[in-house]
Amino acid sequence: MSVLASLFCLQFSSIYFRDVTFYNFPNAFIFEDRHEVVFERVKFDPSSTQKIEIDIVNKNVSVDPVVRIEGSEFPGFTEVSRVNEQRVLIVVENKQQIVDEPDQCYEYKGELHVINNKFESLARQVWKTLV
């Protein structure tokens, strides 16, 4: 098991990636009910053909997550045939269900900070917010 895979098996309330370059990474980074998730000065291998997906899911009503993506680089595809393909998808989802009304969700109380990042993808949808 890789070091990264073993990290995701552990339960941390906060996860920080700082000054990291990912050459091999999971199909999706999935963070559920974390107090803080930080991608700071993170880079992804531009020669990789793998898509980059970051999912932040909030189910626990008592958790007000803070997600910070700062100074990071998200490369696009370099092949001409794939230039318009979606390379990066960042999903923020609120799944805090009201117990007596399963079709209703609580108001999302988290914070999302996206500052000074470089997105090289030409795809129109990089963000998906489900709150």
Distance CA 80, CA 130 (A): 32
pLDDT digits (tens, 9 = 90+) for 2-30: 555 545 555 668 899 999 999 888 888 88
Q: Residue 22 is part of which domain span? A: 3-130
pTM here is 0.74
65 Cβ contact list (under 8 Å, min separation 6): 31, 33, 34, 35, 36, 37, 56, 58, 110, 111
pLDDT at 9: 52
Q: How many domains does the chain have?
A: 1
pLDDT at 68: 93
Distance CA 125, CA 84 (A): 11
